[in-house]
Structure 1
């Protein structure tokens, strides 16, 4: 395996991974594999920075999850496979978790729950009372509630990931995503997410949508 690129959070992420898998056999090998995946060159937003941010938000939402340890594992795997031109990333990421976790000593129930949570990030629409799903989805979407400057950096990184898409097609596709999000009754399902992030996220989404619509005129 090629050496990992330097990253200021690399040591912190490795420590978090080893804690999440309780220093299981093969833990270091999987740490190397996952961190290399999250550092692949086609990524501009779905990077180790995103992984670290989601893990931080899971920690923030831990009291709202039934099993925050499994939610943390799902965060590690949720974009482990990521090719922006593919629509099968979540499914392939879930299958990676289903292969890796038994080797790391996790039982069938834990493995199935992590894989279920990873697949849930296709829609970010957990069922009522799915506390683990609510925590993971809120953590993954928390970037929508960033400060305006940080949100602009996020939006630019998403555009870079889809650099192979012509401008008109990207604007149309991205605008459709934003309208779908704005049409949801709630973006965030946990009490903390709804209280702390909902209003600012909607402001950011509305601003981006207006910019896209203006650029397309």
Structure 2
């Protein structure tokens, strides 16, 4: 069964309340049930000063949306994948996802193989060709901020620009446009039932920013 209009509105409203999203991070951390040292480390990483967008609020938002969309609150593997998918974050690096998966394996004992593979899939959302519905759910959750209301979308764009402060403005604009155009060119951005909530507003945001970047070029 799809989401009602009120549920979709509630989902999009979450992003406006960063304190609520950070509380979602706490709930996610509790579900992940990490050893104390691992929990301390993952908190430290998501509070690193160079993070503006890829922080605890982002991770907490994804977990809250998972729950709001009827996701299994007991799915620890997915909780670990969400929690660790940006655990290592250097805006200029190309191996963040591989290092994040490796960090998960280092900090958490037991079988974390599925979560590691799911994290690796977030390196290129559009390139994932598998059929694992839970991996697809992670990818769709991670892309759901493309569909935020305009004010939250603009705020996130500003946060991302802060993370890429070392990149000259012209290069930032060109790179940002390439990324957004790739999403816009996909037949579908979202590949689970979450698309019913996010596909249309995401495409509206993409079109508006791509047009803005083209005008400014």
CA contact (8 A) 1:54 1:139 kept: yes
CA contact (8 A) 1:58 1:68 kept: no
**Equivalent residue for 1:86?**
93
Q: What TM-score, normalized by structure 2, do the two folds share? A: 0.84
The runs of at least 4 consecutive aligned structure 1 residues that moved more than 6 Å come to none
Q: Deviations over 1:150-205 (max 9, x none)?
A: 101011111111111111111111100011110111111111x2111000000001
- How far 1:56 sits from its partner (Å)? 1.2
Q: Deviations over 1:75-107 (max 9, x none)?
A: 0000000011111111100100111221xxx33
Runs of 5+ unmatched residues, structure 2: 1-17
CA contact (8 A) 1:62 1:135 kept: no
**Equivalent residue for 2:75?**
68
Confirm or deny that 1:13 pairs with 2:25. Answer: yes
Question: What are the within-5 Å matches in structure 2 for residues 181-196 of structure 1?
Answer: 181-191=183-193, 193-196=194-197
* CA RMSD, Structure 1 to Structure 2 (Å): 2.0
* Matched residue SS, 1:129: coil
Q: What TM-score, normalized by structure 1, do the two folds share? A: 0.84
**Equivalent residue for 2:13?**
none
CA contact (8 A) 1:62 1:68 kept: no
- 1:83 and 1:128, CA in 2 relative to 1: closer, same or farther beyond 3 A? closer
- Cα distance in 1 for residues equivalent to 2:31 and 2:200: 34
- How far 1:68 sits from its partner (Å)? 3.4
- How far 1:8 sits from its partner (Å)? 4.8
- Cα distance in 2 for residues equivalent to 1:93 and 1:29: 16
